[in-house]
Structure 1
Amino acid sequence: MESTFFSIVNEQTVGQHAIGAIGYRHSGGGFHGSLLHDFELLIMVICSGGGLRRQVDHCIKGNLKYQIMYISSEDLLDWIAGGEHHEIIRCFLDGEILWDVQRRVISLRSQIIELEQTLREQHIFKEFSRFLRRYLEAKRYSQDGHFMDAYRSVADALYHYACIELIEKGVHPGQRVWEQISHLGSVVYKLYEELTESKETLEQRVQLVLLACEFSVMSKMADCCKFLLKILSSRHEPWTIQELLKHPDLVLVREELPMVLRKLVYRSLVRETPSGHQSSAAMRQIRYWAN
C-alpha cells in the first residue's frame, strides 16, 4: 500500500490504545460488500481493551475517500468464536498491515487463523453429523417404501452436504445456500437438481441420490470427522460416550454423536475397548479412542 496511507492513520492520530492498523482496498470496480460501500479504502484500527465500542469515521484526503473502523482485538476473537462479522474478519486477514506495535497485529492474525481453522473443522463436523443423520433417515424411509418422507430427508441431507462444500471452499454458508453453491459447479448442486428437476419417478430420484450420498459418506468421513478424532486423541485414556456427550465442544452434536461414533467404529477410524477387567461380572462400559 502506498506510503501516503501511513500519514492517514498512525500511532499519534488514533490514540494510546491502538496496537496497529490494517488497510484494505478493493481491486477494480463493482460492489465489494457492505464494509466498503463506494469507498476506495477501508482502514481498520485495532485497539486493545474490550470496553471499546466499534466506531466508524468517513473521511476524505485529496481525492481519496476512505472509511476508518476502530475495532478491539477482543471483539475480533469473539466474532471468530461466534461465527459473526465474516466480512470484517476477511478484511483483517487479507488487508495490508500499515503499522504494528511490537508485532501485536501479526500475533493477533496468527491467533485468529489458528482459531479459524479449529472452528472450521468443528463446523464441518457439525454439518457432516447432520448430513449423516438425514441420510440414514432417508435410507430407512426408502427401505420402508415411504418415498415422500425419504425425499424430504434426502433434501435435508444434501443441504448439509452443500454447507460442507461451501466451508471447504472458505465460504460461510448463509441463508441462500443453494444460490451460493450454484456458481461453484459442485457435485452436490447437480445432485440437488437431479432430485428436484429430473423426469424420473420420485423413487428413482431418491434412490439415485441416496447412492451418491453413500459414496460421500464413505469418502468424506475421515476428513469431516477430524474435529472428533482430535478430541479422542487428546488424552491417553479412552473415552466413554457419556464423557464425550458432556464435552463442551461437542454440545452442538449431542443428538448425532452416538450414531457418528458407531459409524466411525464400523469404518475402523475409531477403536473401542471394554473398561474394567475381563473377569469382572459387572457391566463393562465401552470406551473409545483414536490413534
Structure 2
Amino acid sequence: MEPTIFSIMDEEKAGRQAIGAIGYRQDNGSSHDTLLHDFEFLILVVHHGLEERTVRIEHCLSGDVHYQLVHVDCIDIEDWVIAGDNRELVKSFLHGEIIWDIAGELAAFRSHINQFEDRIREKRKLKEFAKFLKMYSEAKKLTAAQELLDAYYSVLQALKHFARLELIEQGILPESRVWEQVRSLNSVVYKLFDELTDNSETLEQRIQLVLLACEFSLTSKMESCCSLLLRILGSRKEAWSIQELMKLSELAHMKDELPLVLRRLVYRGLAKESAKTQKESKGEHRELRYWV
C-alpha cells in the first residue's frame, strides 16, 4: 500500500465510531472486481455502532491515486458472512491490509470472523442449506416443465450452495471463488459439477442425475444443517406459528426461505405440525403451528 494511502486515514477522516481501516488493492494483471470498477484501491473503514446502518461509499483522490472509501459497521460484516451476501466486500475485509487500527480492535474483529466460530458457522450452514433446497426445488419444477436451460441454471446454483455447505462442514469460510475452494477437497459436489458441465449425455439426463444426487444430499444433511431451527422449535412447550418464527433475530438471515424449510422438515418427520383454532369476525380458521 502506498504511503499516500496510509497517510489519508485518521480518526477525523474516518469518524469517531471507526475502529480502523483496511486497504485492498486490485492484483496486477487480474480482471477488476465489480466493487473496484476502475479504481486501483478500496479502503474499507470499519465502524462499531454506526447510527446509519447502510454502506456509505465515497469516491476520492489522493495525489494521482483514485480510490473508493467504503464505510461499514461490524454488525453488517458479520451479517454478510452469515447470509453469504456482499462477497466482494467480505473478501476485501478478509484479505486486505490493515492500514489503521485503534488498540488492535480491527485485527481482533477480523480474527473473530476468520475463525468462523460455531455461532456464525451454524447460521451460515442453515442459510446455505435453505438456498440449496430452494434452488433444487426450482430446478426440479423447471425440469418437469421441460424448461431445461432454466433448469440447468437453477441446478448449477443449487450445486454452488451445496459446495458452500461442504466447505462449512470442513470449517472453511466460503468465499467468492467457491469452485476453486472445493476443487482441492476431492469433494462429491465437484464431481457432480463435472457431471453437469462436462458429460456426453443429454442435458436433461445430466440434470436428472444431479437432481437425484441433490435429493439424497438434502435428505442426509437436513437434520444437521437445520439444528438451529430445530433447537428453536423445541425451546418451549407451545408450538410456534410461522409469524413468530419469522420475527426471531436468530432466523432473520433466512426469513425468505423459512416457509420452504419448515414444510420440508415436516415432510421428512423432523418437525411436527398442529392446528390451533383462531376466531375471526368472519368465523374461525385453523392456524398451523410447528414443534418438535
TM-score with structure 2 setting the length: 0.62
Note the 1:15-94 alignment, pairs <5 A. 53-54=19-20, 83=81
Structure 1 residue 259 corresponds to structure 2 residue 246: no
Which range moves more in the overlay, 227-236 or 152-161?
Answer: 227-236
Note the 1:97-112 alignment, pairs <5 A. none
| Distance in 1 separating the partners of 2:116 and 2:148 | 42
Aligned to 1:166: 167
> Which residue of the other structure, out of 253, 276, 284, is the alignment partner of 1:282?
284
- How far the C-alpha of 1:116 sits from its partner, in A, is 2.2
Aligned to 1:202: 203
- How far the C-alpha of 1:52 sits from its partner, in A, is 7.8
Which secondary structure does the structure 2 equivalent of 1:275 belong to? Answer: strand
Work out the number of aligned pairs and report it. Answer: 207
Runs of 5+ unmatched residues, structure 2: 2-15, 23-46, 50-73, 82-89, 97-108
Aligned to 1:16: none
* Contact 1:80/1:116 (8 A) holds in 2: no
| Distance in 2 separating the partners of 1:233 and 1:145 | 41
- How far the C-alpha of 1:175 sits from its partner, in A, is 1.0
Which secondary structure does the structure 1 equivalent of 2:175 belong to? Answer: coil
- How far the C-alpha of 1:115 sits from its partner, in A, is 8.7
Structure 1 residue 145 corresponds to structure 2 residue 161: no
> CA 1:155 to 1:229, structure 2 compared with 1: closer, same or farther past 3 Å?
same
* Contact 2:167/2:174 (8 A) holds in 1: yes
- How far the C-alpha of 1:73 sits from its partner, in A, is 11
* Contact 2:135/2:154 (8 A) holds in 1: yes
> CA 1:80 to 1:87, structure 2 compared with 1: closer, same or farther past 3 Å?
farther
TM-score with structure 1 setting the length: 0.62
| Distance in 2 separating the partners of 1:217 and 1:239 | 24
Alpha-carbon RMSD across the aligned residues, in angstroms, is: 3.4
- How far the C-alpha of 1:112 sits from its partner, in A, is 8.8
- How far the C-alpha of 1:87 sits from its partner, in A, is 7.2
| Distance in 2 separating the partners of 1:197 and 1:133 | 24
| Distance in 2 separating the partners of 1:227 and 1:114 | 19
> CA 1:116 to 1:134, structure 2 compared with 1: closer, same or farther past 3 Å?
same
- How far the C-alpha of 1:51 sits from its partner, in A, is 6.3
The C-alpha deviation readout for 1:188-225, integer Å capped at 9, x for no partner, is 00000110011111011001001101111111111111
> CA 1:181 to 1:255, structure 2 compared with 1: closer, same or farther past 3 Å?
same
Aligned to 1:155: 156
| Distance in 2 separating the partners of 1:112 and 1:153 | 30
> CA 1:115 to 1:237, structure 2 compared with 1: closer, same or farther past 3 Å?
farther
- How far the C-alpha of 1:251 sits from its partner, in A, is 2.2
Aligned to 1:118: 119
Which secondary structure does the structure 2 equivalent of 1:242 belong to? Answer: helix
Runs of 5+ unmatched residues, structure 1: 1-33, 35-49, 57-71, 89-107
* Contact 1:134/1:154 (8 A) holds in 2: yes
Q: Which amino acid aligns with 1:138?
A: A
| Distance in 1 separating the partners of 2:139 and 2:229 | 24
Which secondary structure does the structure 2 equivalent of 1:282 belong to? Answer: strand
Which secondary structure does the structure 2 equivalent of 1:288 belong to? Answer: strand
The C-alpha deviation readout for 1:163-206, integer Å capped at 9, x for no partner, is 11111111111110001101100000000011001111101100
The C-alpha deviation readout for 1:94-130, integer Å capped at 9, x for no partner, is xxxxxxxxxxxxxx9xx99999212211101101101
Structure 1 residue 235 corresponds to structure 2 residue 236: yes
Aligned to 1:8: none
The C-alpha deviation readout for 1:138-182, integer Å capped at 9, x for no partner, is 111111111111101000000000011111111111110001101
Structure 1 residue 136 corresponds to structure 2 residue 137: yes
Q: Which amino acid aligns with 1:221?
A: M
* Contact 2:168/2:174 (8 A) holds in 1: yes
- State the identity %: 47
* Contact 1:191/1:209 (8 A) holds in 2: yes
* Contact 2:242/2:259 (8 A) holds in 1: yes
Which secondary structure does the structure 2 equivalent of 1:203 belong to? Answer: helix
Runs of 4+ in 1 over 2 A off after TM superposition: 50-56, 77-88, 111-116
| Distance in 1 separating the partners of 2:255 and 2:216 | 25
> CA 1:87 to 1:142, structure 2 compared with 1: closer, same or farther past 3 Å?
same
Q: Which amino acid aligns with 1:167?
A: I
The C-alpha deviation readout for 1:241-281, integer Å capped at 9, x for no partner, is 1111222222222221111101100111111111149xxx7
